[in-house]
Amino acid sequence: MRNIPSFVETICILFRGYLPRVFKARGWVLAFIIMVPFVIVHIFVILGVVPNPARLALELYHNGYASVVIPVIALVSASACISEDIEQRTLPLMLVRPAPAWALPIGKGLLWFSWCSTWLLIVVTLMQLVGMEVTTIPRKIIALVFTLWAQLGLVSLLGLIFKRGILWAGIVLFLWDPLVTLLPGTMQRLTFSHYLQSLAGGQYSINNMNSLLAQAQISTPFWLAATVLIAVGALAWALCGIKVMNMQIGLSGRESEG
């Protein structure tokens, strides 16, 4: 009788087996996406063409990383998680191994989450070079990393549930989430941006185009915002595991489901 690896052992096995993949094209594309906005802004600061570096640093963080970069890397990373094994028809080969099937999605997800989080930590730490206040950097790192955790879990779940899950995830992240400034207080809590801003330590001022329609922005306590994002991500990954456990799939791929 074969011994079934524990959850932690399964995660470690997946890390060792899939680690080389993060050093291939997709991994470096993710690193490029994360680093390029900062590098461009840093060049402008060095050239002295930025009149207010501190304001530019905030714009880079909120309008660049919080609003665009995090959703983009969540979408790109999610496609490398368990849905990739379904599309490439390698999931059955993983399921025949003596390991808990429900641990497979979060195992691969944690690998890409760790890779992206490392680069986010580096880039936000370097933002002090373009005017970011050093004392605010820890909170801003936590905000981006926790938001990535929740968004990556959600995108992966939608990718497993729907045939065009990435499209639905894009609608949520790029159409619904930016409405946070226009939504009433209660509805703001249904967006990732609200919790990211609460963790980062305040909302960045809205632009003039939306000022007439903007609602009063509410804030959630730091510990509660962190708990919500962690819980959303954990729930999404748990549901991914349940989906994989109940998935009827053969060596022919998706067409053999159910």
Of 7 and 133, more confident = 133
User: Does residue 244 surpass a pLDDT of 60?
Assistant: yes
- In sign, the C-alpha dihedral spanning 193, 194, 198, 199 is negative
Dump pLDDT digits (tens) for 56-81: 899 999 999 999 999 999 999 988 77
* pLDDT confidence bin for 251, thresholds 50/70/90: very low
Q: What is the pLDDT of residue 257?
A: 41
State the Cα–Cα distance between residues 163 and 68, nearest whole angstrom.
Answer: 24
- Judge whether 110 and 17 are in contact, CB under 8 Å: no
- Percent of residues, the chain, with pLDDT higher than 90: 48
State the Cα–Cα distance between residues 216 and 225, nearest whole angstrom.
Answer: 18
Q: What is the pLDDT of residue 228?
A: 97
User: Does residue 210 surpass a pLDDT of 60?
Assistant: no
Burial of 51 per CB tally in 10 Å (0-12, 13-18, 19+): exposed
User: Does residue 25 surpass a pLDDT of 80?
Assistant: yes
Q: What is the pLDDT of residue 11?
A: 81
State the Cα–Cα distance between residues 233 and 147, nearest whole angstrom.
Answer: 9
Give the highest mean pLDDT range of 92-106, 112-126, 169-183, 190-204: 112-126
Dump pLDDT digits (tens) for 85-95: 666 555 554 55
Q: What is the pLDDT of residue 243?
A: 86
User: Does residue 174 surpass a pLDDT of 70?
Assistant: yes
